[in-house]
Structure 1
């Protein structure tokens, strides 16, 4: 993919909703050789308010107008997944590199189409799986690669959450559980982070199978998923996700088993994990996480566009996560 020919990356953001308040867009102004110059949202009142609060000089209510802005030379797509494919097409045809929110799209087929259009237009495509750049996960990857727990045998995901009264009361306004918008339910929103992280650790999944169901009946999308998968590295994995659990069964845990030890961590918790080697006490690791959680990954994107570093989360890797999710949910009971 071609690199940015300018000396700085000047971002235009499509869809300045909640994710852009703290997690992502504000970081674009803090990174060297990076600026946030324009934002877009269809609601004029809301986009003007965002631009005012975040000191952004330009705002739009039309995506094509922002993309056509000559000052903007990189596009961040922060909309729900149903809009990703069309917006990627517009940005790619304008020749501007793209950073798109996760999950990359609603289906693997849409991801493939996004990759193809970016390749045909020679445009870089990155995906917001920002955990690949967070310090505790980078450290875990280093330990694994250095053989810190020996040969990896298996990895297991266990995520269970409660269907709270607040969620039930706001179902009509929650796009994350609308398959037409999100591709699925909370599994697509949350498990995508976990599966992508394991791709970061172990490489792509070559085989995957699973079962999904809607047991709670609160909304249309799946609310429970189980599955198993095999990585190209030979590691075997399982996953168990339930979004209608009891309060005393809530859990967020991934366990990696090697033949010399074990690593345990939360995907959505603090910057910490535990390492236990055979016949040794548990060792705990703690890392400070950035205020703007996507900043480390965005720094790698800016670096790649300016030719000084490489981003670990691309359209190719992001599409692999969608493929695994498609496999895990397709057998629905």
Structure 2
């Protein structure tokens, strides 16, 4: 393989700016085909983005001989099946986050891709963003000494129904795996796996406080990382206002940063308070896509894989399992 020629399954909103255009901007990469079940929308996307081919059937895209790698940008309920179909065709897979609806589906995807000797990557692109690489640099340089604990707090007002009076798929567990916790907290939990170490023990509590939809809208949890760091988090999606903050405290200082907001990274230690303003690139997945392409061409390593993403699914599953047992 001298060039990675991508096909997208599910060219919805996430592909408009965050990911789709990046496939053509990355070195040794191009976007050659897109698929959406609504053929008119697939055609419109292809025409607007200058993509040579479009399909309304995923199987046709997967078996297109000009496509040698598949990006799955559908809701999680389709991730496992499309991953298996792409692996059957011997094509590397890049799948949106969360990796799947539950850790069992993740395991099936990993196992099948290994059997077919097909690489599997997941779109936890914060692992390749300059903003969070700066946080990792500060931690690795010992700017806060030995890490002792981490806290995360994320709240949002209750979301609204769509224009058809329906709740979006992100709060339909049969499609998404859970509520907004699966959609948003997955980024934070995967980022902590990257910055600190994998989580090895989890205890969580989930509830539906607003009673607006079947999925949980409140999750809290405590966890222990493999390196002994202790963490806790609270995610509420029926609260007063938007709030998004992570705090990593060590023996010599503290780092504060947001997963989603564009507030500065703050480092406080004996040298005083420093702030780092690092903007995201326009196409936020570009850095990770470049690393994936480099790995596929034998020139580097991707920081986000099926195995690392499965760990995040496991943590989330553990935190909400009692809620869904009651359901």
Structure 2 residue aligned with 1:220: 214
> CA deviation digits over 1:99-153, x for unaligned, max 9?
0000000000000000000000000000000000010101111111121100000
Q: Distance in 2 between matches of 1:51 and 1:322?
A: 32
Structure 1 residue aligned with 2:230: 236
Structure 2 residue aligned with 1:312: 303
Q: Does 1:36 align with 2:28?
A: no
Structure 1 residue aligned with 2:143: 148
* CA apart distance, 1:286: 1.2
Is the contact made by 2:103 and 2:317 (CA closer than 8 Å) also made in structure 1?
yes
Is the contact made by 2:206 and 2:216 (CA closer than 8 Å) also made in structure 1?
yes
Q: Distance in 1 between matches of 2:110 and 2:141?
A: 32
Among candidates 110, 115, 140, match of residue 105 of structure 2: 110
Trace 1:99-248 onto structure 2 (pairs within 5 A): 99-164=94-159, 166-167=160-161, 172-247=166-241
Is the contact made by 2:205 and 2:220 (CA closer than 8 Å) also made in structure 1?
yes
How many aligned residue pairs are there?
324
Is the contact made by 2:93 and 2:118 (CA closer than 8 Å) also made in structure 1?
yes
Structure 2 residue aligned with 1:300: 291
> CA deviation digits over 1:192-216, x for unaligned, max 9?
0000000001121110010001010
Q: Does 1:324 align with 2:319?
A: no
Q: Distance in 1 between matches of 2:310 and 2:53?
A: 32
Among candidates 18, 27, 30, match of residue 22 of structure 2: 27
Is the contact made by 1:136 and 1:271 (CA closer than 8 Å) also made in structure 2?
no
Is the contact made by 1:301 and 1:310 (CA closer than 8 Å) also made in structure 2?
yes
> CA deviation digits over 1:19-50, x for unaligned, max 9?
01000011000111100000000101111111
* CA apart distance, 1:91: 0.2
Structure 2 residue aligned with 1:3: none
> SS of 1:64's equivalent?
helix
- Aligned-residue CA RMSD (Å): 1.2
Structure 1 residue aligned with 2:258: 266
Quickly say closer, same or farther: Cα 1:31–1:160, change in 2 above 3 A. Answer: same
> SS of 2:166's equivalent?
helix
Trace 1:61-100 onto structure 2 (pairs within 5 A): 61-100=56-95
Q: Distance in 1 between matches of 2:10 and 2:128?
A: 23
Among candidates 284, 291, 298, match of residue 282 of structure 2: 291
Structure 1 residue aligned with 2:268: 276
* CA apart distance, 1:320: 0.2
Is the contact made by 1:227 and 1:240 (CA closer than 8 Å) also made in structure 2?
yes
> SS of 1:35's equivalent?
strand
Is the contact made by 1:135 and 1:271 (CA closer than 8 Å) also made in structure 2?
no
Is the contact made by 2:162 and 2:168 (CA closer than 8 Å) also made in structure 1?
no
> SS of 1:131's equivalent?
helix
Runs of 4+ residues deviating >6 angstroms: none
> SS of 1:195's equivalent?
helix
> SS of 2:280's equivalent?
coil
Is the contact made by 2:161 and 2:167 (CA closer than 8 Å) also made in structure 1?
no
Structure 2 residue aligned with 1:13: 8
Q: TM-score, normalised by structure 1?
A: 0.95
* CA apart distance, 1:169: 6.4
Gaps of 5+ in 1: 1-5
* CA apart distance, 1:281: 2.6
Quickly say closer, same or farther: Cα 1:61–1:212, change in 2 above 3 A. Answer: same
Is the contact made by 2:167 and 2:213 (CA closer than 8 Å) also made in structure 1?
no
